[in-house]
Amino acid sequence: MGELSVDRQHLDHLLVDAASGYDAPYQQVFAELAVSHRGRPAATIVPLLRAAAERALLGFTPADLADQAEAISSGRPYELRIRVIGR
């Protein structure tokens, strides 16, 4: 399980929101990788997650990305706790 603090104004970078103009929220990329990369080595998934996180301006730690990649590789659920900051 990971934890992430996200400023309220950047929440659409993380979660799918049809009203947002942001084109690749992290949630969508994660879901696509979970389908397309299940069973592949976690080491090949980490750079893809890192690139998606950087595009979305999300500050996941290397350990968070490795844990997410392992969840994708193994097909296990991944729980992410999000703390929304700001007004």
pLDDT tens for the chain, 87 residues long, are: 566 666 666 666 666 555 555 555 788 888 899 999 999 999 999 999 999 988 888 888 899 999 999 999 999 988 877 777 776
* Residue 59, both tokens: 């500050």
pLDDT of residue 60: 85
Full-model pTM: 0.76
pLDDT of residue 38: 97
Q: What share of the chain is helix, strand, coil (3-state, %, to 5)?
A: 50, 15, 35
